[in-house]
Structure 1
């Protein structure tokens, strides 16, 4: 019997072929340990990610804020990749019959080629001054559906997400961290849902120069406080 995960992995492959190379299709799935991982990805060259890349901090915020309980999807938000491409993202929440979140199906549209084509047409027709005077108005429907205003960053590694949450100077090589500082860092990462990312705990332990059991102990203290 085909599992729910396998059905969506097949759908990702299908959508990647149908939509074409300007659309990255990503399936984030939840593990038995309540962590998220990329279960399938098509046209990954848009973000440079792969099956070992983490779920984004933006997606973790959607999960932590339980946006999936209020609506089925979040569409047409701004995203960016390491290649500084202009990307439009949309996320569909995959839920079971009881509304429990199983995963996220994300489609990231690389608008760069189309924006460049529009610019070329405007320049070709010498319409620069006319276009500058045309106002841009968001539709009422878009305004009603807007639930988040921050931009999604498509990080390709867990380290990048950790360094995006913790001040870089805090984790510079050679800086000796006290236990209290390590707990403070873990608290900040935990608030952002970073430990929901598959492999994040071991990576945090490596970066902080401590053991995985120590990180588990810090998290227990944090959850008790």
Structure 2
């Protein structure tokens, strides 16, 4: 059972009206980023990507925080593919609490399958003029913006590690936390290795060794048929 923060509850009507406006191909997801490993707290039309309450975020870092289009706490109109090959058009808005700290996110995911099928049908009726997605533009580093992103990343790291006494954390628990961060792209943000090492009271070398161990296990499992 997940208890939803009062601030996030105010986004439920917004999620519902967005989904009702754009129909069954539009999924809306509300995340509670104070619990990163189980951030999904509300979904509408979750058949689009299969998001379920209790799951964690997927694209927050790679497609939002590190996106060229991330500004004013949102990134609009980025794309990702589902496991079955459908193209999803997505937008994410960060949600802040009374102290202006990031505590949640509102994500809109639109299945473009029907739109693409109609475009393909229409394209047969006119001269061919293939229209490709624009190539991603490398994000230009801006010092104030990078500080803003690092602040959000630091808050995520704090929430992932939690407040359990470090002396009671087993090695496998630390490895699992680092595995989650690696999987979600946390370490793509500059300075996060240092932050995690400091928070877990271990060396940077140890963090790197854990990451290599995790990648090694992942590579081994991929080779199993």
Change in Cα spacing, 1:45 to 1:76, as seen in structure 2 (3 Å) is same
Task: Give matches, 1:75-94, under 5 Å.
Answer: 75-94=76-95
Q: Distance in 2 between matches of 1:85 and 1:104?
A: 23
How many pairs were matched up? 161
Are 1:224 and 2:202 counterparts? yes
Q: Distance in 2 between matches of 1:88 and 1:146?
A: 23
Does the 8 Å contact 2:31/2:42 carry over to 1?
yes
- Picking from 17, 20, 25, the partner of 1:22 is 25
Gaps of 5+ in 2: 142-169, 187-196, 204-225
Report deviation, 1:40.
1.0
Which secondary structure does the structure 2 equivalent of 1:84 belong to? coil
Does the 8 Å contact 1:187/1:222 carry over to 2?
no
Shift >3 Å, 4+ stretches:
33-36, 60-67, 134-138, 142-147, 179-195, 219-223
- 1:131-172 deviation per Cα after TM superposition (whole angstroms, max 9, x unaligned): 24x67685xxx969999xxxxxxxxxxxxxxxxxxxxxxxxx
Q: TM-score, normalised by structure 2?
A: 0.55
Report deviation, 1:64.
7.4
Q: TM-score, normalised by structure 1?
A: 0.55
Change in Cα spacing, 1:62 to 1:97, as seen in structure 2 (3 Å) is farther
Are 1:117 and 2:118 counterparts? yes
Does the 8 Å contact 1:26/1:42 carry over to 2?
yes
Work out which structure has the larger RCO, using CA pairs closer than 8 Å and 6 or more positions apart in sequence.
1
Does the 8 Å contact 1:75/1:90 carry over to 2?
yes
RMSD: 4.3
Report deviation, 1:181.
9.4
Does the 8 Å contact 2:75/2:91 carry over to 1?
yes
Does the 8 Å contact 2:78/2:89 carry over to 1?
yes
Q: Distance in 2 between matches of 1:25 and 1:12?
A: 6
Report deviation, 1:88.
0.9
Q: Distance in 2 between matches of 1:85 and 1:137?
A: 15
